């Protein structure tokens, strides 16, 4: 860690009003996107990447990181007020947030969520700042077998958490990897699966695929459910929690923040898992576990500190090893490459001018999140009331613009829409989209390093287990996949039992 | 009933995956002779296709053995038709945009889609569709300097 560079980076971010403005715009947009049910932080980043094309890499990334942090926090607002988590990571927050809202303490719950998000996010950002350069130093020693093992590890992790079926997660992942083989072969330059189309020579571009998977698919679902979803109204009063209330949950906040950061830093996990694990842990270690779920501030503070801590954690593997921690960081990784930067250990050697402002920006984003969150809570609560019949067409339009803007290509718009239709059906048949996204990122890395390793070893596949780091990554991935298989099997058996009981009751 | 639906879908998807993967394997063979080394452009797609065939077979076997997942959510038929029509409107917009330009085409698209989705307030529809299209157009045109289709109104801006 170079403190001189870090202080310079803080100067760059804080003393330049334009940089601060982009963080502010990102955080505000993120909170709004997060607060609106049906719009996730992933979707927000995907839709807003095109708006960063004209900015430099630092400003573009500052804005996107603002959206990331704001989006994760924003999800808690709708979770607390209307019992619909704005983002999946806020699902744990509603367990105590909504009961608080029913007691007339919705404003206070949002206030506590803001403070916990700030403290959690700051912890995550500080850990990221100090840990990333060290991990990158280790990463510099990685060769092709280690990078392949890392890709397998990342893909394996996301498959295990993406749904009720491991098999369907695998199929999604393989489908995503197959998509990455379209276009020029990275090693030989031979065009593959292009069928004579010039538009496909460069492969399926990341942004249209991303917007298809997370933008169009969601828009199609929103249009389909337009008349089914109930209209909701939300309002807040009394936001600021007292010092006494904050002090009472401070220990929980810091414990959850550190746990969240650690969970977020494991590739493929992300903020949703961090929120549930930290909520469970807070309940387990509480003196009054029976009060959880009835509407207590600790039940809001724990998952919010956890999921915001995970934002910084998820950035660590993305920046240092080029393996995203979750779907949003996969989008950020894509954004980095669009701005001409290749995430991974070399980023810490060749682009310190970008890395340190990212660290500083992440910490600044938390301060802005606290300010904007507390002062604008009433406004953000009102955004939940925006008519869906107006909002959905606008998002539909942003999907069109976003998929067009990368290469000014109507082919990309069409491709993106087709991917959106596929993703729309995939959701209904429980094929998760996140493994496809991660496969799009890690596919080229996996292919190149697999082939390079085999060329180096003269075709001996044992090269992947002979090297300790590579063997360790593969062993952990296998362990997690096997344990997940049994966990999912157990859950499915329980579900089937409950279904048969309810069927029996119906026939009786 | 619900379980049967997912079973059929799993068998259909499994079959589709096997067919796709078999085709990928066969098609990738064509890349074999394009380079001199063994692990050429065909290698990775063929590895993937073998894994996909295994997954496809496993999906079918699980479905036949009655282990398919139960559906948690169903597609609402009327809603689905609404989605298809909305996609049709969007395709029309993509053509319209190239004729009458981005800003005007977008305003028409947003207005039509809001009307189709049941938004009744005329003023709301007009203001939100024009404001959104102009805002994004101005941002792309002047701030991000990204060219957008101008159509026959090329001279306007």
Q: What is the mean pLDDT of residues A480-491?
A: 82
In this prediction the pTM is: 0.80
Residues of A in contact with B51 (CB under 8 A): 170, 174
Per-residue model confidence as pLDDT tens digits over A447-464: 999 998 998 888 888 998
CB nearest to A51's CB, from B28, B35, B139: B139
CB nearest to B55's CB, from A174, A450, A492: A174
Is residue A2 classed as helix, strand or coil in its secondary structure? coil
Is residue A432 classed as helix, strand or coil in its secondary structure? coil
Residue A191's φ and ψ, nearest 5 degrees, are: -75, 135
pLDDT at B1: 44
Per-residue model confidence as pLDDT tens digits over B53-78: 999 999 999 999 888 877 777 888 88
Low-confidence ranges of chain B (pLDDT < 70): 1-5, 33-37, 144, 153-157
Q: What is the mean pLDDT of residues A73-86?
A: 83
Which residues between 98 and 137 in chain B have a beta carbon less than 8 angstroms from any beta carbon of chain A?
Answer: 98, 106, 109-110, 113-114, 117-119, 124-125, 128-129, 132-133, 136
Q: What is the mean pLDDT of residues A399-413?
A: 85
Per-residue model confidence as pLDDT tens digits over A281-300: 888 888 888 888 888 999 99
Indicate yes or no: CB of B146 within 8 angstroms of CB of A387. Answer: no
CB count, 10 Å around CB of B35? Answer: 17
Write down the domain spans for chain B.
Answer: 2-64, 77-153
Residues of B in contact with A390 (CB under 8 A): 114, 119, 124-125, 128
Residues of A in contact with B24 (CB under 8 A): 178
Q: What is the mean pLDDT of residues A137-163?
A: 81
CB count, 10 Å around CB of A90? Answer: 31
Q: What is the mean pLDDT of residues A190-205?
A: 88
Answer yes or no: is pLDDT of A162 > 70: no
Distance separating alpha carbons of residues B39 and A466, to the nearest angstrom: 20
What percent helix, strand, coil does chain A show, rounded to 5? 75, 0, 25
Per-residue model confidence as pLDDT tens digits over A91-141: 889 889 888 888 888 888 999 999 999 999 999 999 999 888 888 888 778
Distance separating alpha carbons of residues A471 and A336, to the nearest angstrom: 29
Question: The complex's ipTM?
Answer: 0.89
Residues of B in contact with A165 (CB under 8 A): 69
Per-residue model confidence as pLDDT tens digits over A461-476: 899 888 888 999 899 8
Look at A83-87, A188-192, A240-244 and tell me which has the smallest mean pLDDT.
A83-87
pLDDT at A229: 63
- Which residues sit opposite A183 in a β-bridge? A192
Distance separating alpha carbons of residues A102 and A237, to the nearest angstrom: 13
Position A9 confidence tier, pLDDT thresholds 50, 70, 90: confident
pLDDT at A506: 67
pLDDT at B81: 94
Nearest CA in chain A to B68: A165
pLDDT at A231: 62
pLDDT averaged over every residue in chain A: 85
- Name which of A173, A390, A500 to mutate to probe chain B: the one with the most chain B Cβ atoms within 10 A of its Cβ: A390
Q: Produce one character per residue of A176-210: b if its CB has 16 or more CB atoms within 10 Å, e if not.
A: bbbbbbbbbbbbbeebbbeeeeebbeebbbbbbbb
- Which residues sit opposite A100 in a β-bridge? none
Answer yes or no: is pLDDT of A407 > 60: yes
Position A36 confidence tier, pLDDT thresholds 50, 70, 90: confident
pLDDT at A281: 87
């Amino acid at each position: 860690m170079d403190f001189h560079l870090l202080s310079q980076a803080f100067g760059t971010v804080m003393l330049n009003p334009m940089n601060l403005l982009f963080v502010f715009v990102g955080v505000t947009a993120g909170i709004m996107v997060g607060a609106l049910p049906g719009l996730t932080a992933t979707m927000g980043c995907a839709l807003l990447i095109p708006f960063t094309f004209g900015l430099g890499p630092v400003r573009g990334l500052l804005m996107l990181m603002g959206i990331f942090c704001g989006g994760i926090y924003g999800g808690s607002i709708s979770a607390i007020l209307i019992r619909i988590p704005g983002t999946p990571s806020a699902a744990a927050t509603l367990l105590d947030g909504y009961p608080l809202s029913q007691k007339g303490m919705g404003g206070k719950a949002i206030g506590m969520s803001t403070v916990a998000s700030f403290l959690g996010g700051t912890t995550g950002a500080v850990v990221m700042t100090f840990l990333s350069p060290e991990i990158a130093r280790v990463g510099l020693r990685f060769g092709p077998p280690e990078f392949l093992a890392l890709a397998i590890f990342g893909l394996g992790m996301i498959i295990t958490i993406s749904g009720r079926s491991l098999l369907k997660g695998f199929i999604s992942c393989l489908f995503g990897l197959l998509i990455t083989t379209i276009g020029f072969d990275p090693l030989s330059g031979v065009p593959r699966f292009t069928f004579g189309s010039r538009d496909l020579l460069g492969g399926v571009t990341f942004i249209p695929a991303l917007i298809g998977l997370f933008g169009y698919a969601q828009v199609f679902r929103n249009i389909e459910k337009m008349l089914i979803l109930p209209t909701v109204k939300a309002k807040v009063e009394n936001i600021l929690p007292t010092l006494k209330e904050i002090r009472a949950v401070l220990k929980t906040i810091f414990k959850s923040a550190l746990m969240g950061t650690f969970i977020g830093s494991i590739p493929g996990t992300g903020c949703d898992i961090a929120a549930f694990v930290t909520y469970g842990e807070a309940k387990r270690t509480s003196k009054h576990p029976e009060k959880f779920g009835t509407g207590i501030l600790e039940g809001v503070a724990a998952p919010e500190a956890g999921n915001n801590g995970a934002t910084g954690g998820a950035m660590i593997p993305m920046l240092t090893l080029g393996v995203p921690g979750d779907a949003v960081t996969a989008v950020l990784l894509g954004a980095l490459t669009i701005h001409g930067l290749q995430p991974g250990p070399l980023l810490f050697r060749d682009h310190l001018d970008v890395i340190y402002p990212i660290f500083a920006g992440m910490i600044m984003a938390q301060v802005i999140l606290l300010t904007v969150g507390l002062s604008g809570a009433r406004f953000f609560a009102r955004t939940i009331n925006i008519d869906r019949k107006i909002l959905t067409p606008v998002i539909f339009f942003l999907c069109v613009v976003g998929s067009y803007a990368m290469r000014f290509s109507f082919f990309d718009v069409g491709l993106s829409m087709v991917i959106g239709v596929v993703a729309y059906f995939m959701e209904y048949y429980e094929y998760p989209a996140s493994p496809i996204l991660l496969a799009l990122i890690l596919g080229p890395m996996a292919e190149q390093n697999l082939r390079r390793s085999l060329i180096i070893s003269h075709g001996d596949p044992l090269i992947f287990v002979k090297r300790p780091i590579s063997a360790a990554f593969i062993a952990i991935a296998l362990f997690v996949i096997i344990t997940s298989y049994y966990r999912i099997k157990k859950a499915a058996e329980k579900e089937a039992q409950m279904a048969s009981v309810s069927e029996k009751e119906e026939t009786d | 009933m619900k379980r049967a639906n997912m079973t059929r879908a799993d068998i259909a998807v499994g079959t589709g995956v096997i067919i796709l993967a078999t085709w990928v394997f066969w098609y990738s063979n064509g890349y074999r002779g394009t380079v001199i080394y063994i692990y050429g452009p065909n290698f990775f797609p063929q590895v993937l296709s073998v894994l996909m065939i295994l997954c496809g077979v496993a999906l079918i076997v699980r479905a036949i053995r009655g282990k398919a997942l139960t559906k948690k959510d169903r597609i609402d038929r009327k809603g689905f038709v609404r989605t298809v029509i909305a996609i049709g409107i969007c395709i029309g917009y993509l053509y319209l945009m190239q004729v009458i330009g981005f800003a005007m085409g977008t305003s028409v698209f947003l207005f039509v889609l809001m009307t189709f989705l049941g938004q009744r307030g005329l003023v709301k529809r007009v203001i939100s569709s024009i404001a959104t299209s102009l805002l994004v157009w101005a941002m792309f045109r002047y701030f991000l300097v990204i060219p957008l289709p101008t159509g026959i109104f090329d001279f306007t801006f």
